[in-house]
Amino acid sequence: MAPTGLDAEADLRQRFMSKVQKGTECWQWVGGSDRHGYGIIWWDGKPFKAHRLAYLLANSNLPARLWVTHTCGNRSCVNPAHLTALPARTIRTRKRAVPPKSPTTRLSTAQVEDIRRRKEAGESARDLAVLFGVSERHVYHIAAGDRWRPLAPPVPPPAAPSPASPPTAHPGAGGSLQLHAP
């Protein structure tokens, strides 16, 4: 028979803490993780983000429409002192001047700028990956501005459509019209 009530919470808390490695600052999640580096734990038959569960266990509730975010910038951290619940809009629009420094960060800002400069000058991604101890794919992402975005060169706004080619209307779902540029 499965535990219920307080027994179920105690069982979950014990199972959760067995997958946590406490450090002096961050508490690293050592259980399974998703492809983005967030810890995952199964709870009530469903996968649940470990940092959200850490927040819930520490605060007894998680208000609707709030997302749990890391103040330390370390996605695998489950230290409740490093977690805060904010509206999704706040998280999406928050800009950071410097990429978050976490225990998993391998490159400094200067190294990222060096990779971009060298890649633009024609050095191969393979050579840069070996030199800086990261994957070739990561070098491509850094050079393209997909990683370390605050350091990425500003992207120019899209060109306005010319008056000679007005937008065309295409039928959308439910018979509504959606405007699409040709």
Q: What are the pLDDT tens digits along the chain (182 aa)? A: 445 556 777 888 899 999 999 988 889 999 998 888 889 998 778 898 999 999 988 888 777 788 888 888 788 899 999 998 888 766 655 544 345 555 556 677 778 888 888 888 999 988 888 887 888 888 888 888 776 655 545 444 455 555 544 444 444 444 333 333 33
DSSP β-ladder status, 27-29 and 66-70 = unpaired
What pLDDT sits at residue 12?
A: 84
What pLDDT sits at residue 171?
A: 41
| Contact indicator for 82, 74 with CB cutoff of 8 Å | yes
Confidence (pTM): 0.49
| Contact indicator for 78, 17 with CB cutoff of 8 Å | no
Residue 105 CA from chain centroid, whole number: 13
CA-based angle 13:69:94, to the nearest 5? 175
What pLDDT sits at residue 91?
A: 62
What pLDDT sits at residue 177?
A: 31
What pLDDT sits at residue 40?
A: 93
What pLDDT sits at residue 79?
A: 93
